Amino acid sequence: MPSALVETVAIGHEPTVGMTLHSGTASATSNLSSSSCKEVTTNVTKKCGRPKGLTKEAIESIKRHKLQALNYAATQFASIQEAAADIGLTRVGKGAYEMILKDAHEKFAIEENTISKATVLS
């Protein structure tokens, strides 16, 4: 008895591919669900390069943070000097300036040694 390859499509289902024997005694049908073979296409537009103005914004942000850190360190230096003068000292404690500079670098997220002690004292 000849066998035939039959393809049927049910409404709302995946195509069913099967082999049917015409003898009537046996029928073999296999469902091939191709859920892993489905291709999902989306309309995604890929942009190349960096967004316009990104570098300029980053540079301005770094400059702004550096200026804020410099002002913060200068006001802290002045307040420490005034506090030392109020208690009768002529000098500020050892390492006080370095601690303020370190704090300013961390607080404003700028690289270490961006602000020098001489710049703040002047």
Q: According to the model, what pLDDT value does residue 55 have?
A: 85
Q: What is the pTM of this model?
A: 0.54
On whether the CB atoms of residues 98 and 76 are closer than 8 A, the answer is no
| Strand partners of residue 6 | 18
pLDDT in tens, 63-97: 999 999 999 999 999 999 999 999 999 888 899 99
DSSP 17-83: EEEEETTSS-EEEEE---TTTPPP----PPPPSPPTTHHHHHHHHHHHHHHHHHHHHHHHHHHHHHH
Per-domain boundaries in the chain: 1-34, 54-121
Q: According to the model, what pLDDT value does residue 82 have?
A: 93
Instruction: Give me the residues of the chain with pLDDT under 70, please.
Output: 1-46, 50-53
Q: According to the model, what pLDDT value does residue 7 have?
A: 46
